[in-house]
Structure 1
Amino acid sequence: MQRTSFLTKTAAFLSFCLFAIATQAWAGGDHLKVYLNNKLIHEQYVGEPVKLSNLQLDKANVNDQLTFHYSHCGKIGTGRKLSIRDDKGGVIREWKFADASGKQSGMVIAVKELLQLKQENLRFFYTATELPKGQLMASFQVTDKTTSWVPGSSVLQFLC
């Protein structure tokens, strides 16, 4: 009788521990959200399969805004920057953002600024004090008529 009670309590305790570890690890992973005019267009967590999206931007979007939210293990980064880089890693354009005081502080970029770039194979990178080497977030194809956006798969290559 005591043996059965001990085994039941042990199994319950182990189940609780596994559940606590699993939910804590998921809640603390790096996370990216991208909005176009406050409408969620892409969301990615570390460990999820890569989601491919395609965003077409043209002159009709000239007054629109893209907002990026990136959290490191559940916390907003410090010294945050978004940059556009060419195939060789050279920085073409960089935006710096103040440290966030709230839970989610977006990094806003005017679509007009992206449409002004006239190069192909551009890459969108996020860097912060917590991620100094940077993280590929998306690739861009900019032409006179449209801008195509495909989220970067390397957003999944690191763990907390």
Structure 2
Amino acid sequence: MSVWIRPAHDDEIDAIAALNTAAFGQSAEGKIVRRLKRDGDSVLSLIAHDDSQIVGHVQFFRIQIDGVPLAVGLGPMSVLPARQRQGVGSGLVRTGLLALEGAGETRVFVLGHPDYYVRFGFSAEMACNFAAPWNGPAFMTRALTDAAPASGTLTYPAAFEAG
């Protein structure tokens, strides 16, 4: 069954939260998506739909570098378990990165599986130049333009605070 990608609508937040719970087996990611939307920190929210239901979602949110809103974070990204490994997630990530580049965003960060996100141009080595709440091989970044900041201290939205 084919899938199409479009921006999420405001009235789909409950379905998106439920999708995240199904994909991750817990409610934490759905709560993050709700809080990002509520707090105004969402930059881009895309869904994948198969004409009967939402089968995937990717969230992009604002990150500050040295106190200035210069970057975007990717996550959570979720796909219904029955639709995983069918290209839904890849389509969401690629579409999101193109849209962000077209909107003039300069840099994207992700905390995720290195073997997965490296295929989209993300690099843990480049992320080492940034002071962030996370580090290691799962913390990666990708520049969308040559003018992207090359270092700095990252501030994540309140949605990612523990508790």
When the two structures are superposed, what TM-score results if normalisation uses the length of structure 2? Answer: 0.25
Q: Which has the higher helix share?
A: 2
Higher strand share: 1
Higher relative contact order (CA 8 A, sep 6+): 1
- Structure possessing the higher radius of gyration over alpha carbons: 1
